[in-house]
A and B are shown apart, each in its own frame.
Chain A
Amino acid sequence: MKERIKFTLNGKTTELDVDSDRKLLWVLRTDLGLTGTKYGCGEGFCGACTVLIDGEAERSCQTSMIEIKNRTVVTIEGLEKDGDLHPLQKAFMDNDALQCGYCTPGMILNAYAMLSNNPDPTEQQIIDGMEDNLCRCGAHKRIIKAIQVAAKSMGGF
């Protein structure tokens, strides 16, 4: 059923007439043209589609449009502020925390939410927090490093 859905997307108020049970992932990628959010499994297993909803990491392939009504969504495209990369993005670059890069947006946003809940995580907490985000290229070691570096440079978020 089509419904008018109003939400905040990367800082901007957005209104859409969409079928309210369509998944956020596809609305972002097609209707809104924000292709930084990736499809990897469609079932909530891989985390490639991770976005922030009211600051929490959520899997957009499992999120219906109705669930984001009046809420705040941030995608990878919304992390850069006035041309400045977010410290996590910088740390992923500087620490080569990516190979093919396909899992990267989901990794960064998942880490973002994790750090906002726990600005100074131990290595084990990072591992636990990232456990359900999959990377096939095997960039894990450097992703952990990047998150540690970002946490430090953000000095407690």
Chain B
Amino acid sequence: MKNENYLNLDFTDRLGDILIDRRDFLKSFGGGIFILMTISAPSVFAQRPSLPTDFNAFLRVGEDGRVSCFTGKIEMGQGVITSLAQMLADELDVDLESVDMVMGDTDLCPWDMGTFGSMSTRFFGPPLRAAGAEGRRVLLELAAEQLNEPIDQLVVENGIVYARSDNKKSVSYAQLAKGQKIARFASEKVPVKTPDQFKIMGKSYLRQDAREKVTGKAKYAGDVRLPGMLYACILRPPDHHAKRIAVDVSAAKEVEGVRVIEENDLIAVLHEYPDVAEKALSKIKAEYETPESDLDENTIFDHLVKVAPNGNVVAENGDLEKGKAEAAKIFKESFLDGYKAHTPIEPHTAVVHVEGDKATVWPSSQTPFTAKNEVAQALGFPAENVRVISPFVGGGFGGKTRNLQVVEAARLSKLSGKPVQVAWSREEEFFHDSFRPAAVVKIDSGVDQNGRIVFWDYHVYFAGERGAQHFYAVPNSRTMAHGSGWGGDPGTHPFATGAWRAPGNNTNTFARESQIDIMAAAAGMDPVEFRLQNMSDEKMRRVLSAAAEKFNWKPAKAPSGRGYGVACGTDAGTSVATMAEVAVNPDTGRVTVKRVVCAQDMGLAVNPHGATIQMEGCITMGLGYAMAEDLHFKGGRILDLNFDAYEIPRFSWLPKIETVIIDAKNDAPQGGGEPAIITMGAVVANAVFDAAGARIKRLPVSAERVKNEIKL
């Protein structure tokens, strides 16, 4: 990212009390025009731990005319580096190339909660555009003065302001910003552009970071190399509940150039080469005591239902008893979904350099500001003495919201007096990942004679509320969430759990859309017609119809033998409908997904091309949890520790993918990085039922499960 260009700024200059107010925050940025903005995500500011308190992103039009946007978001493949720049360039009337994104640097960028939940474009979009519009306004005011023309007689093109009457009368943004020091708040009084005025937004652009990434120049945390830096390998227990009872590090100490560091729970081997450190680590002998446990990927579900707290009502309407009385057919089902790993190809990595009472941190993290506080706390430093600089992140999917490795590197840097890199091995990544929680959904529902859903009683255990609420027109309905979709009280999950691309929603959508299909089949109706008949949500109807049209869906009652499936869902404000065609091998149960069509209404798609790529990514990644991914474990011992045991999607799995983005230019942009993944489990399960009459109620839809259920 562009941060490197700023590394030579005087670091010490900006520490201490200087962050106290916004003028001071901006003091160190030199001249130019500054527009400050706030993100309007409601809960964000309540959590803000540090000053400044009234803005959390800003843009600068520098004295060279270049526009820089400073934001605490990071780029991990989702393409915000491009879509945020597009919004700004369009509002300011500059070309895309003259916008620099400075991201995730805790000294240069105001506080931000983190990059997750498809929030970047959603919450960042409107204020960013308002700031761009405000910036343009300030520049026009300055130009009006210089050119001696009224503002409404000025036009801007590519960063140059012209007089309408005489285009030889002109002045550039660079000239206007020269010697200025103007800071303004984005008032949102200056109108942003309407869709018909967009020149850059809504158009497709190639990634801004592509060249660095195809040449190997893009720097990820593990590529940060500092003079004197040591690589650390850390002693890990075999089980999350293991207690160390003896350890002997003497053989490791004998390896030339190795330093062994022990502090409380932390035992690490440091060396200037990571592979030598790893070898030395393997010489440490440690003994552990591990409690017995009969929890594994099969027994976990009963356990979860047993320990679950009483539910919260997520949504409720009508009277369930009345609905039950009206039902002609009642369906009582349970759906199961096991633990999933994030497995970004870049494991958690961090470099930390502690110098005196200051620390500089380069983490692979989705939450640089959280990392900053965690490091400060671990080292006993005031937060302002810690600077986090975000390199590119090699995939996050929610897993890199936790910064364990950053704290480890920080402690080891302090203890060793050297810059230290901690780069987890794949085994460590599997062990310390915060897995997507295993979960159970129990649904009781019924239809009347005419195939109308008359009641719906939904209980989700540990997938949480996200995506739990249905969007069907059901007169008597209750949705209850037992426990959160992130974790639970101690004793719930045998290891850490957390957010995984569209947390909880994958499980909720799998359960709901399977149940809907079960009812449609029993009612003898085509699953699309059944859905439309029970759906009043206009946006979802549009999306479903668009998918059906693209797919060329022809109504038939399932199982039709065609292998067609459908599933709908909502996430991060976006509605999505997915259709799939599968083939099932009758002898092995092996499922091949041949074709996936996905339609999505995400409001204004700022970069439709980027959104399409995100959808394709969701569909491809989603095949993994739908068909193969399921973590094997025994108590706190993780049994899948590399890609031989834990399968993720490969080239040969790739179906023909077709995407449709509904044109909704006048609506606010919604999330695009996650929605298309939520329907994948259900669409595959439903298509498999249509192909072979096999109803799979537990993810993944594995060959073995399908084989046992084949009816056709």
Residues of A within 8 A of B (CB): 22-23, 26, 29-31, 33-43, 45-46, 48, 75-77, 79-80, 85, 89-90, 92-94, 96, 98-105, 108, 126-128, 130-144
Least CB distance, B595 to chain A, in whole angstroms: 12
Measured CA separation A108–B214 after assembly (Å): 8
Closest to A78 in B: B216
Contact across chains for B652 and A131 when beta carbons are under 8 A apart: yes
Residues of B within 8 A of A126 (CB): 651
From known contacts A39-B222, A100-B344, infer whether A77 and B215 are also in contact, taking CB-CB under 8 Å: yes
Closest to B218 in A: A101
Least CB distance, B333 to chain A, in whole angstroms: 30
Q: Quick check: is B6 within 8 A (CB to CB) of the other chain? A: no
Least CB distance, B401 to chain A, in whole angstroms: 15
Least CB distance, B655 to chain A, in whole angstroms: 9
Closest to A79 in B: B215
User: Would you give 18 A-B contacts (Cβ < 8 Å), ordered by A?
Assistant: A22-B273, A29-B223, A30-B274, A34-B216, A38-B346, A43-B643, A46-B426, A46-B643, A77-B216, A80-B215, A85-B211, A85-B214, A93-B214, A99-B77, A101-B394, A132-B650, A139-B616, A142-B613
Least CB distance, B158 to chain A, in whole angstroms: 24
From known contacts A77-B215, A101-B213, infer whether A45 and B644 are also in contact, taking CB-CB under 8 Å: yes
Closest to A91 in B: B214
Of A94, A96, A100, A136, most B-chain CB atoms within 10 Å: A100
Choice from B214, B644, B649 contacting A43 with Cβ under 8 Å: B644
Q: How large is the interface on B (under 10, 10 to 19, 20 to 34, 35 or more residues)?
A: 35 or more
Number of A-B residue pairs having CB atoms within 8 Å of each other in the complex: 176
| Docked complex: B632-661 residues within 8 A CB-CB of A | 642-644, 648-652, 654, 657
Contact across chains for B642 and A43 when beta carbons are under 8 A apart: yes
Choice from B218, B223, B620 contacting A141 with Cβ under 8 Å: B620
**Chain B contact residues: over half helix, strand or loop, or mixed?**
loop
**Chain A contact residues: over half helix, strand or loop, or mixed?**
loop
Contact across chains for B618 and A138 when beta carbons are under 8 A apart: yes
From known contacts A80-B215, A98-B213, A101-B213, infer whether A31 and B273 are also in contact, taking CB-CB under 8 Å: yes
| Docked complex: B309-357 residues within 8 A CB-CB of A | 343-347
> 1/0 per residue B535-556: CB within 8 Å of A?
0000000000000000000000
Closest to A31 in B: B273
From known contacts A98-B207, A100-B393, A101-B394, infer whether A136 and B344 are also in contact, taking CB-CB under 8 Å: yes
Which 6 pairs, one residue from A and one from B, show the smallest C-beta to C-beta distance?
Answer: A36-B216, A138-B620, A100-B77, A102-B394, A101-B213, A99-B77
Measured CA separation A41–B427 after assembly (Å): 8
Contact across chains for B225 and A33 when beta carbons are under 8 A apart: yes
Closest to B615 in A: A138
Measured CA separation A7–B222 after assembly (Å): 25
